[in-house]
Amino acid sequence: MGRYVIRRLLQMIPVFFGATLLIFLMVNVMGDPIQGLCGQRQCDPATAARLRQEFGLDKPVWQQYLTYMGHVFTGDFGTAFNGQPVIELMADAFPVTLRLTLVAIFFEIVIGITLGVLTGLRRGRPVDTGVLLLTLVVISVPTFVTGLLLQFLLGVEWGIVKPAVSPAATLDELIVPGLVLASVSLAYVTRLTRTSIAENARADYVRTARAKGLPRRRVVTRHLLRNSLIPVVTFIGADIGALMGGAIVTERIFNIHGVGYQLYQGIVRQNTQTVVGFVTVLVLIFLLANLLVDLLYAVLDPRIRYA
């Protein structure tokens, strides 16, 4: 196991550099960040030249990347165009988005896996058909429609929750945004769990466990569910990074100042330092989440061993 972890960590190094280089190049072709800083009016040539020199934009792209990565390893993610260090923006944004992501993952695990197990064990029955239709509707409806609808009904019409989240962004305020953020992924988790449960229910080891006279609950939880969760855990692990980076729509709807909000502001204002800095951290989170998922395989299925 130790050798496997070391090998995976070494494999993450070129992936990290490749992903950050690609992001850096893509952000630099979005447009002239100095022109975005000046707004709609034309920048004064002398001012534009001074700003390019100040932010290192007068150097070749490859040199800008090497300089940026050198600063990243010292904990310096650059400075936004408003003069605020990007690391300070991260300190304010990432805890909020992390809480929102945890709420979304909680809904995926509790509701998605529970519905998947129930429908997988009752395949072809009315409850199975109803859940399949419901998940299909959730997948088909865009997230911004679901968010605006729940915000209007629960926040404006019925007054159950506040329409917008306060700057503190406490867990109770993030329940509805977390449900909106997790809605599509929750539907996929339900369908994935249902399919895996239905397939493994006909496996030999399940029939053997039943033939031994084991209680139905133990057969489902100890034998059937553990082996069926491997593809679900894979999806959820990959979904962690996707939820944190893809929360732009949800955070805009509920006025949450998290990672999605900062990325949106950075893209609109063509603030390359902010965008690249936030995405660099998201790449690290994505890589670590995938490593954790690989290690969980051996916990779920004893037959899996890492040499």
pLDDT digits (tens, 9 = 90+) for 276-292: 888 888 888 888 888 88
Mean pLDDT over each residue of the chain, to the nearest integer: 82
Q: CA torsion sign, 220 to 223 to 226 to 228? A: negative
The per-residue pLDDT for 304 is: 64
Mean pLDDT by groups of 10 residues along the chain of 307 residues: 78 85 78 63 70 71 81 79 81 90 92 90 87 91 88 86 84 89 91 89 80 81 80 85 80 87 80 82 85 76 60
pTM score: 0.81
Question: Amino acid letter at 288?
Answer: L
**What element of type H or E holds 148?**
helix 143-150
The per-residue pLDDT for 34 is: 66
pLDDT digits (tens, 9 = 90+) for 241-275: 778 877 788 888 888 888 888 888 887 777 777 88
**What element of type H or E holds 144?**
helix 143-150
CA distances from 257 to 38, 169, 172, 283 (A): 24, 9, 16, 20
**Domains of the chain in sequence order:** 86-269 (1.10.3720.10)
Number of residues in the chain: 307
